Amino acid sequence: MTSPRSLPYPLGATWRDGVLDVAVYSETADAVDVCLFGTGDEPTEERRVRLTERTGHVFHGLVDGAGPGTRYGLRVEGPWAPAEGLRHNPHKLLLDPYAKAVEGEWDWSEDVFGHLHEEPETLNAADSAASSPRCVVVDDDFDWGDDRAPRTPMDETVVYEVHVKGFTQTHPDVPAEIRGTYAGLAHPAAVQHLVDLGVTAVELLPVHQFAQDSHLLEKGLRNYWGYNSIGFLAPHGDYSSAGDGGGQVAEFKALVKALHAAGLEVILDVVYNHTAEGNHLGPTLSLKGIDNGSSYRLVEEDEAHYFDTTGTGNSLNVGHPAALQLIMDSLRYWVTEMHVDGFRFDLATTLTRQDGDAEVHSAFLSLVHQDPVLARVKLIAEPWDVAGYQVGGFPARWSEWNGKFRDDVRDFWRGEAGATGALAQRLTGSPDIYEGAGRSALCSINFVTAHDGFTLADLTMYEQKRNEANGEAGEDGESDNRSDNNGAEGPTADGEVTERRDRQRRNLLGTLLLSAGVPMILGGDEIARTQGGNNNAYCQDDEISWFDWEGADTDLLAFATELVRLRRENPVLRPRWYGDEGAGTRSVRMLRADGVDMTPEDWADANGRSLGVQLTPGEGSEGGAAFLLLLNAADGPVDFVVPDAPEGRWRLALSSDPEQEVGKEVKELFVRDRSLTLLRSA
């Protein structure tokens, strides 16, 4: 029998055929050691094993006496020359970039920095092992049973953006020992809420292993959102009820399996644009000490510093094959091994910047486009970074977070002058952005709120942000509410103000779920979750961010559920293409309150605050009912003349006005101030 041999791929620590094979990429290293610390039950003193084989720029070798559960790290020998972009320091215990599980956290002593604080050019010889987490060797075996990806078509998709911990941390029907974990989100009580609401996909805020920020810990805060990745293949250990000793991998897989069984897809919010290692003054945790120049974009002719388009101190070097390989290997791993159904790319524009400018034919986009594994999953871009805005600039294969939808819908409902024309574009799938490039409305991920900003409830309660708890003197977060708080600030208000707020919440949810494109609901908006006016709760791992299930607005939940049901059951509300002929199409009429088609003069009227939108199935489409959406953002009522229904007569299907009677026949309708009403042909 032939003895096993080490392989240069896959990278990382792979347990196969009873042996551990470790492979590490570095163009600039002189030597790589694997540092072993035993298992969680039987920790040992550090034992170093040098990787003696080398294929191209990959150091690799077989490691005896190590298997699933073994804790390990890396030490890399090589030149220390920051001015040349070289930051090797064998005194630092480094995370394997391909680690599948990580145990522990950094204590942020000076030990974990490759340089001295007072002398950034000088190598820091203090050993960091006692201050650093460990990688954990993982056995990939898992009983997936009959797991099957839902493969929900984009036109039927309703996305629910949610935080793993916050969703169940206070859920009364989830056992206390698993609240706030992957297992908690997989619990039947949690899954049932999603199923009852009718969403089809959960978009999880970052679950890649991320690092806590030292400046937050010093203030008694924590990185809650998780946009500080350090392990692109490892599920974050803090979200595991099994602990972070490797059990987080199987627990995450069990979550995906449970959601799939309920017909729900899993989309990951992924942060490949930067890592937690920061700039030239940041710590040396992983890639910086393994191969700094291949991993990060360095300033040309000043390689001691980092080119930063993310606002975090560094940007991944997507012009280099090694960095691209890490991203692609990570994406394929989460699809093939973890069974996820799609990705939302944080600051995706940074990933298209090979030489500085965003490029539609960048290597990253080209690799993704041709990859057969990624061909079957959803790809969603956050189409901007701190250096530029790229909505509409991604290839047809991609969908995009449509920030213009958020801004224009908010402007309309707060009564902004001249907002009606822009609203019409957003209601019909933003053809002004996508149609000219041959893209469809399904490229637009529509949202009115997201994790970054006010919740829906706070959007209608607060005119100004209230971020003092973040410890930044209220200076953080966007300052513009871009909606109407309807009177007195805060949750306490008289009956008239409260009722108007309720209408605005329904108006915003209604516009979102009745617009062409793919709607994304911010988790908790359906039950009026509040953050007390904090519109940047990234560091609030507490009641500010967690769901308040006891205080849920069940009436709003019923309204949101009915909206999702109407959308699901009526293809005319979720067209696949612009135009009025062919499958997945519809005809659209834009109407004034007197029932006459809108004219160029009407669109140019800055005082216009109302609009009627008639939606009729197109020739060759799935057929079904027609709808008439009536919107009034004015401060007073509007008397709408209702045109003849294409077939039969109009009946009232839904309204943000509680005084409207659902099911009644409608020939003319008095639409009150700040309200939305939907009619359906009988």
Q: Pick from 246, 160, 668, 118: which is nearest to 447 by CA?
A: 160
The answer to whether 209 and 231 are in contact (CB under 8 A) is yes
The answer to whether 327 and 232 are in contact (CB under 8 A) is yes
Tokens 């042909």 belong to residue: 681
Tokens 């000043």 belong to residue: 302
Neighbours of 219 (CB within 10 A): 12
400 has catalytic annotation: no
14 backbone dihedrals φ, ψ, rounded to 5°: -115, 120
Q: Find the helix packing angle between 321-336 and 363-370, rounded to 10°.
A: 30
In angstroms, the CA 514 to CA 408 distance is: 15
Pairing of the two strands 378-381 and 399-401 = parallel
For residue 345, the surrounding DSSP H or E stretch is strand 342-345
In angstroms, the CA 403 to CA 417 distance is: 19
Bin 65: left if φ > 0, else alpha if -120 < ψ < 50, else beta: left
What is the SS3 assignment for 451?
coil
- 678: tokens are 């939907």
382 has catalytic annotation: yes
Tokens 């911010």 belong to residue: 522
Peptide bond into 10 cis (omega under 30): yes
Edge to edge, what strands does the sheet with 58-63 contain?
A: 12-16, 19-25, 58-63, 53-55
State the catalytic residue, choosing from 111, 303, 341, 346.
346
676 backbone dihedrals φ, ψ, rounded to 5°: -130, 135
State the catalytic residue, choosing from 265, 277, 329, 382.
382
Could you tell me which residues come within 8 angstroms of residue 220 by beta carbon, excluding any fewer than 6 positions away?
Answer: none
DSSP 8-state assignment for residue 212? P
Bin 263: left if φ > 0, else alpha if -120 < ψ < 50, else beta: left
- DSSP output for 246-293: SHHHHHHHHHHHHHHHTT-EEEEEE--S--TT-STTS---SHHHHHHH
In angstroms, the CA 42 to CA 162 distance is: 37
- Catalytic residue numbers, as ranges: 346, 382
